[in-house]
Structure 1
Amino acid sequence: MPAMLDDPTSPPIRRPAYKSPLLTYDELLQADIRPRSVTLKDGTKATIIPFTSPSQVPQSLSAILCAELNKEIEKGDTYPMVDQLPLAAFHPYWFSLFGAIMFSGEFESAEQITKLGNDADWEKICLGSFYVKPNYPGRSSHVCNGGFLVTPAARNRGVGKLLGQAYLEWAPKLGYKYSVFNLVYETNVPSLRIWDSLGFERVGRIKGCGNLGSYPDKLVDAIIYGYDFSKNS
């Protein structure tokens, strides 16, 4: 359920300190953003854990998510990138500012996940992930975007929508005022359904934006989604 469009090889956009009344990510985490307990369509209990640093995420766990992103890139239908991303680049790209991972089962903190280390069976318990980061630099860095992944074992269990709900709750607590999803190909029907159902607005269309793997003989349009966080306040 991709929604992102930023260059994984570029340094992440960071919000400027000036004119910012925002708390640090750690302060926000302590005050407002805590692990979110959810229930999948099949009744499975799961937990969405927030992370504020790549160092909190075991490399073997990051490798599972990196492999899933690379499968999507290789398929060529959802993400715009052509070259796959090495783990050394994925780890800071996905978790450099703020990321979240959904796990099967009940957990209480990021520290608990960190302590499980590289010996945990992440393929069984890792269900999906998203990140939140600025979509634009400087004076527009209060507008965020997100990237989303759902693992194969979690498909058709409502994981994508639950991750989207957590994004809508946590992004404004991080101080963002608006969300833009730059690029969702119109052939990615499951993703479109999720964003439409969560109240995102279709604020634009890019004609012929995608030269996709499954559609070699035509260029596919992409939808730009927007969400105003103030409507939830």
Structure 2
Amino acid sequence: MSITEPLYDKLPDGTDVTILPFNSADEAPEELVQTIQDLLNDAIEGGQTYPQLKVLDRKGFLAYYFPNFVAVMVEGKVKNSKEWDSAKNQFLGCFYIKPNYVGRSSHICNAGFLVLPNLRGRKIGKTLGKNYLKLAPRLGYKYSVFNLVFETNQASVKIWDSLGFDRIGRIPRAGNLKGLGYVDAIMFGYDFTKEQTK
């Protein structure tokens, strides 16, 4: 399955935003792909949210973050990626959606979220999360698992709790984070089919 139509939403401060869908890196403008790669590598270097030890080159980035679907949130209302103008429609954040497991369990997805650090506090992450809950089922997924939400990432933990995710597990000493040492991770789950049974 693929998604071609953007979603439109508003941040709590009233700012109009567009969530642009990309079913592969080939669909995305090079400037946007580079922006996401730089943002992910900044998070990896920060050492407190993603588990990788070293920054990713282009091949590694595409294999990890862009093997399937990526949704990108930009400011304003944009009809499609060809109309996106980085000068007029600021990039705010993004997330990937990909299978968490293979084969018979590939209907369970995983996601990874990124928000520009200087824009935190505007509820961009929560708005991305709300739109993830709309897009993942449209891609055919039945359930979501977030494997490693480090408990020290309180902003992320707060988002998933507030959006109705279930805490389905805890992994002791799951990450040796920069400046923090070993911390536990919470596993979050969300059943997309529960919406269909209401």
Normalising by the residue count of structure 2, what TM-score does the alignment of the two structures yield? 0.92
Structural mapping, 1:1-233, within 5 Å: 24-25=1-2, 29=3, 34-113=5-84, 116=85, 120-121=86-87, 125-216=90-181, 219-233=182-196
SS of the equivalent of 2:193 reads helix
Distance 2:82 2:63 in 1: 18
DSSP 3-state at the match of 2:184: strand
Offset of residue 227 of structure 1: 0.5
Number of residues paired by the alignment?
Answer: 196
Alignment RMSD, CA only? 1.7
Quick check: 1:127–1:153 contact (8 Å CA) kept in 2? no
Following the alignment from structure 2 to structure 1, what is the Cα–Cα distance between the partners of residues 174 and 67?
A: 28
- Structure 1 runs of 4+ aligned residues shifted over 3 Å read none
Identity %: 49
Shift in Å, 1:198: 0.5
Deviation at 1:155, TM superposition (A): 1.1
- Read off the aligned partner of 2:68 and give its amino acid letter: L
CA contact (8 A) 1:62 1:87 kept: no
Is the contact between residue 109 and residue 143 of structure 2 (CA under 8 Å) also seen in structure 1?
yes
d(CA) in 1 for partners of 2:42, 2:174: 21
Letter in 2 for 1:164: G
* Of 37-46 and 192-201, the range deviating more from structure 2: 37-46
Secondary structure of the residue aligned to 2:177 is coil
Partner AA of 1:74 in structure 2: E
User: 2 CA distance for matches of 1:231 and 1:199?
Assistant: 11
- 3-state SS in 2 of match to 1:211: strand
Runs of 5+ unmatched residues, structure 2? none
Worse-matched range after superposition: 54-63 or 155-164 = 54-63
Contact 1:200 1:226 in 2 (8 A): yes
8 Å Cα contact 1:128/1:154 also seen in 2: no
CA distance in 2, matches of 1:88, 1:165: 30
Structure possessing the higher relative contact order (Cα contacts under 8 Å, 6 or more residues apart):
1
Determine the C-alpha separation between the residues in 2 that align with 1:140 and 1:156. Answer: 35
Query: 1: CA distance between counterparts of 2:28 and 2:52?
Result: 24
Q: Given the two structures, how large is their TM-score scaled by the length of structure 1?
A: 0.79
